[in-house]
Amino acid sequence: MDSVHRQTVQIVNRLGLHARASSRFVQTAQRYAADVTVNVESRTANGKSIMSVMGLEGSCGKDIEIITTGEDATAALSALVDLIAARFGEAE
């Protein structure tokens, strides 16, 4: 059975999960074999689908829960948490 890894972090970039940030999130998730699920409030998304992630409407200050399962799930979770903490590479 695959172990489940999860972590909740706060969205800290000013514009939240807009198109560019969502694209970077999905591109990062797709580098891993792990399944990635993302929750913001009552919404759930496939972390490897740009439309699904953008539909979360994750704005600055909201908590985002990332759940990874399967092969390289730990590495995938770490990379995604780091991406969010780094503001998706944005200045603010």
User: Longest Cα pair distance anywhere in the chain, in angstroms?
Assistant: 40
pLDDT tens for each residue of 5-61: 999 999 999 999 999 999 999 999 999 999 999 999 999 999 999 999 999 999 999
Q: Catalytic residue among 9, 12, 18, 23, which? A: 18
Backbone angles phi, psi at 40, to 5 degrees: -130, 115
The domain of 69 spans 4-89
Clarify whether 18 is annotated catalytic: yes
**Domain CATH for 25:** 3.30.1340.10
pTM assigned to the model: 0.94
Name the domain count of the chain: 1
pLDDT tens for each residue of 63-74: 999 999 999 999
Choose among 26, 21, 69: nearest CA to 45: 26
